[in-house]
Amino acid sequence: METIERIKQQIAENSILLYMKGSPKLPSCGFSAQAAQALMSCGEKFAFVDILQNPDIRAELPQYADWPTFPQLWVEGELIGGCDIILEMFQQGELQTVIKEAAAKMNTEENS
**How far apart, in whole angstroms, are the C-alpha atoms of residue 103 and residue 76?**
10
Cβ atoms 15, 73 nearer than 8 A: no
Four-way CATH pick for 3-111: 1.10.10.10, 3.40.30.10, 3.40.390.10, 3.40.710.10? 3.40.30.10
Predicted pLDDT at 112: 66
Which residues are annotated as part of the binding site for [2Fe-2S] cluster?
Answer: 29
71-to-16, 67, 110 alpha-carbon distances in Å: 13, 10, 27
Predicted pLDDT at 103: 94
The pTM of this model reads: 0.95
Beta strands in 1-112 (DSSP E): 16-20, 47-50, 72-75, 78-81
**How far apart, in whole angstroms, are the C-alpha atoms of residue 23 and residue 49?**
8
Nearest to 87 by CA among 21, 26, 39, 19: 39
Which residues are annotated as part of the binding site?
Answer: 21, 29, 58, 70, 83-84
Please return the burial class of 72, using the count of CB atoms within 10 Å of its CB with bins 0-12, 13-18 and 19+: buried
Which residues are annotated as part of the binding site for glutathione?
Answer: 21, 58, 70, 83-84
pLDDT tens, per residue, the chain with 112 residues: 799 999 999 999 999 999 999 999 999 999 999 999 999 999 999 999 999 999 999 999 999 999 999 999 999 999 999 999 999 999 999 999 999 999 999 888 777 6
